[in-house]
Amino acid sequence: MSDKTYITMERRDRVGYVTLNRPDKLNAMPRKMYQEISAGLQEYDADDDIWVIVVRGAGDRAFSAGADLELLHGSLTTGPFEWKPFKADRFDMGLQVSKPVIAAVHGFCLAGGMELAMSCDIRIAADNAMFAAPEVKWSVLHGFGALVMPRSAPLGAVMELLMTGRRFDAQEAYRLGIVNRVVPVADLQKTVDDLADEICRNGPLAVRMTKEIVLRGRELPLNDGLRIYRELNKLIHLTEDSTEGAKAWAERRPSRYAAR
């Protein structure tokens, strides 16, 4: 268990959980909470014993209502001028981790909360989830989400959602491809846990390399993506896990992977 102010971290077998822990404020995020979530993701990414990461919100009402604008706006517009070279060290600024990340979304998933969900690889929504990117209503920008949402949903639909800032429910999010599936709220945790366990039964290095192929390949011409695949394919066949996978298949037994 890590000592954090706004999040909790716990583990179950090979799964690490990052829980937004400000339920009295609908898990709205001040700047320090953005930093803690991002640091928690990086901590699990560096932990050899964790193979899958789950992000969720505490309480019954929200995954996250987004940035705490009262606190965040002041931190962005006051104080001395500061500049440093760009580094993707926060989830809403392009932070990427090598391990699969699942978002368990219930209740309100708004603004920065939606950006957090969109930064994850897989999104499972409860049937009570309510989404929105309402920043334009407050004359601020939904930056990260505006960049990544068109990769999941049709451009025209994304434009409408971002320019109106209107709310939409879990079923519409599923129809647009923003979430992978919708389940009853009572089944959300079990569904996410089962999915995490299913991923953990696979070769962890192969899972991470597959994520790398997907993320890099979508930004490249097909032939360049195939070059990445060829190099990673050589590496995976040099691992102990690849040998174990072939042996387990031949012996018709479950594989015993070690991430090496």
List the catalytic residues. Answer: 115, 135
Mean pLDDT of 17-23: 97
pLDDT of residue 1: 42
What is the strand order of the sheet 101-105 is part of? 7-12, 15-20, 52-57, 101-105, 122-126, 181-183
Mean pLDDT of 90-105: 94
pLDDT of residue 88: 81
pTM of the model: 0.92
pLDDT of residue 87: 73
Say how many C-beta atoms besides its own lie within 10 A of residue 100's C-beta: 22
pLDDT of residue 54: 98
pLDDT of residue 162: 96
pLDDT digits (tens, 9 = 90+) for 124-170: 999 999 999 999 998 989 989 999 999 999 999 999 999 999 999 99
